[in-house]
A and B are shown apart, each in its own frame.
Chain A
Amino acid sequence: MLEGMNLPAIGMFIGFVAATLAVTWWAARRTKTTEDFYAAGGKISGFQNGLAIAGDYMSAASFLGISGLVFASGFDGLIYSIGFLVGWPVILFLIAERLRNLGRYTFADAVSFRLDGVRIRSLSALGTLTVVLLYLIAQMVGAGKLIELLFGLNYETAVAIVGFLMILYVTFGGMIATTWVQIIKAVLLLLGASFLAGAVLWHFDFSMETLFVAATEVHSLGVSIMAPGRLVSDPISAISLGLALMFGTAGLPHILMRFFTVPDAREARKSVLFATGFIGYFYLLTFVIGFGAIVLVGANDGFLDQDGFLRGGNNMAALHLSQAVGGDLFMGFISAVAFATILAVVSGLTLAGASAISHDLYASVFCKDGVSDKREMLVSRIATVVLGVAAMILGLSFESQNVAYMVGLAFAIAASVNFPILFLSMYWRRITSKGALWGGSIGLLTAVTCMVTGPTIWVDILGNPEILFPYKHPALFSMTGAFVSIYVISIFDTSELGAQEIAQYEMQLVESQVGPLDKCSTKS
């Protein structure tokens, strides 16, 4: 069923690629300075940025993964959706405006406002690259498999195409290209998903009750899909996962970078407003889509393989549904949108990783006397290519591995390294760069150790018989570890540098509230 409908899908896929290459060409002509490359010249409006941020968020993992989870377990999908969404209000209330006022291109800029740049940027670059690489591997493997399934290309070719295109977008178009690709994709995805959910509801006379009843009758788990399932099995895991989702969002480097593409804090505020609205609406859609798939796909033998499982796995639920309600043409559209989604997200991730290398490490840590715009941009572009190639190689190596845990780990690290240092540097007077560096490192180490010794890796992947660390989600422990370590090490830091950093708190507070006093004042 999937192999035979290549034509509309391939047609739309080529159309999308052509459009985005055109956008990249247009963006490349406008990208002249580092301000353009990293922050789209600061000219993105709140509404546009809201769409772009929502786009980054409505990744293939969200669209296919969550609708797939709803398809498999019902209510559990909603638990995940909510976790992903509630981080946004918190970002708005606590982070967004101060971040925009204090930083320039990366979140490390904001943290380095009063804390020592070398220490902070080394750690933030490490945190950023770890998160980016984990996320990239998961996306590349997902992308390869999706394209392999949808377009009949082999895995290696699929990975190569994604890698090649993303390198093109970022190297030539920088943030301008990635933002506009993200916006286009967000609009297409919202339209497609709305139509899909609308078609489902139409099928059930616009009654959620009818939809749910039908789903419970058809699903193997019956009415229990209307209740929490085995997703979170114990309270510690539940809280840990909740923490990772909520605060990890506030530490994802490619998301935080988007706050610098708007001209001021006011637009940053509006970005989050629109993003929250779009994302919330989207998760309501995926819930309907998942349930719709239970009935219209799961109960239809045409979509199942010989063992009774869904063809291509649960993540294909939304795609099969699009074929069920709209035929090959609509499925072609949704497939192209799914592909677009992957491309847009990996581009954003690669840009975030490249900027950590060029802006945080190269321009600030290695070259302490500052570098020219041109040189920094060259380094960014080289870093992009290197990262792109690395992503492809890693994507190829991890083809048959279970990579689902990587996104969870990425969130846990974001919540345990990036978020604590960002949050505490903005809100706690007594923090010093020493505390941030060592405390953040402890957070990173804890997250990775807990994950490696936890059930997912130690038992399932490495094959050890006994569990060392009993919890699947490390965030509760690594975040606590990070906050406590930062606190303790800062309190005991009696150095001269530390004292200076503490003394600058008031100045930082003022700037975080009113913005830079001079339009052209540059931050370290």
Chain B
Amino acid sequence: MHDKRYKIIASDAEFISLQQQRSAFSWLLTTIVLVAYYLFILVVAFYPEFLGTPLTPATVITWGIPFGIFLIILSMVTTCFYVWRVNNYFDLRMRYIKERLTE
């Protein structure tokens, strides 16, 4: 097929470096979300009383509520950050590489 052009790109130093950077970035964000979520799940499983403890004696709002809402906000914030970063950095650089290597 178009083996030659793909091989050229695949062995390009800049491509490899950018791709690794980008991979590290994706996996970092993935890890953050996974850890936060599974921490929540494990607390639900092993230590639910904590989530049921009120924030202060004067309120009925328990620790579970801000914890849960934090996870929802974390999901939204990380996706925002990812799109911003990829649109403004990784995507651009990748496009230059593609143009440079495929006249």
Binding site for B on A (CB under 8 A): 75, 78-79, 81-82, 85-86, 88-90, 92-94, 208-209, 212-213, 216, 223-224, 226-228, 232, 234-235, 237-239, 242, 246, 266, 269-270, 272-273, 276-277, 280, 283-284, 506-507, 509-511, 513-514, 517-518, 521
Smallest Cβ distance from B3 to chain A, in angstroms? 7
Closest CB pairs A-B (n = 3): A227-B52, A235-B45, A238-B45
Most chain A beta-carbon neighbours within 10 Å: one of B7, B41, B42, B95: B41
- Provide the bound-state CA to CA distance between A92 and B81, in Å: 11
For A513, list chain B residues within 8 Å (CB): 15, 19, 22, 94
Most chain B beta-carbon neighbours within 10 Å: one of A81, A234, A239, A276: A276
Contact of B26 among A93, A232, A517 (CB under 8 A): A93
Closest chain A residue, CB of each to CB of B43: A228
Binding site for A on B (CB under 8 A): 2-3, 5-7, 9-10, 15, 19, 22, 26-27, 29-30, 33-34, 37-38, 40-42, 44-46, 48-49, 51-52, 54, 59-62, 64-65, 68-69, 71-73, 75-76, 78-80, 82-83, 86-87, 91, 94-95, 97-98, 102
A-B contact list, 29 entries, CB within 8 Å: A75-B62, A75-B64, A78-B65, A82-B37, A82-B68, A85-B75, A89-B82, A92-B79, A92-B82, A92-B83, A94-B26, A208-B61, A212-B61, A216-B60, A226-B54, A228-B64, A232-B45, A239-B41, A269-B82, A269-B83, A269-B87, A276-B75, A276-B76, A284-B69, A506-B6, A509-B19, A517-B5, A517-B6, A517-B98
For A272, list chain B residues within 8 Å (CB): 79
Majority secondary structure, A binding face: helix
Q: Is the CB of A518 within 8 A of B2?
A: yes
For A277, list chain B residues within 8 Å (CB): 76, 79
Q: Is the CB of A273 within 8 A of B83?
A: yes
For A266, list chain B residues within 8 Å (CB): 87, 91
- Provide the bound-state CA to CA distance between A509 and B12, in Å: 13
- Provide the bound-state CA to CA distance between A498 and B76, in Å: 40
On whether A82 and B71 interact (CB within 8 A), knowing A90-B34, A269-B86, the answer reads: yes
For A85, list chain B residues within 8 Å (CB): 71-72, 75
On whether A79 and B79 interact (CB within 8 A), knowing A85-B72, A509-B10, the answer reads: no
Q: Is the CB of B44 within 8 A of A79?
A: yes
Most chain A beta-carbon neighbours within 10 Å: one of B10, B19, B29, B30: B10
Q: Is the CB of B42 within 8 A of A213?
A: no
Smallest Cβ distance from A516 to chain B, in angstroms? 9
Report the number of A-B residue pairs with Cβ-Cβ less than 8 Å: 150
- Provide the bound-state CA to CA distance between A190 and B43, in Å: 31
Closest chain A residue, CB of each to CB of B86: A269
Q: Is the CB of B72 within 8 A of A280?
A: yes
Most chain B beta-carbon neighbours within 10 Å: one of A246, A266, A510: A510
- Provide the bound-state CA to CA distance between A209 and B64, in Å: 14
Q: Is the CB of A226 within 8 A of B26?
A: no
- Provide the bound-state CA to CA distance between A223 and B52, in Å: 9
For A518, list chain B residues within 8 Å (CB): 2
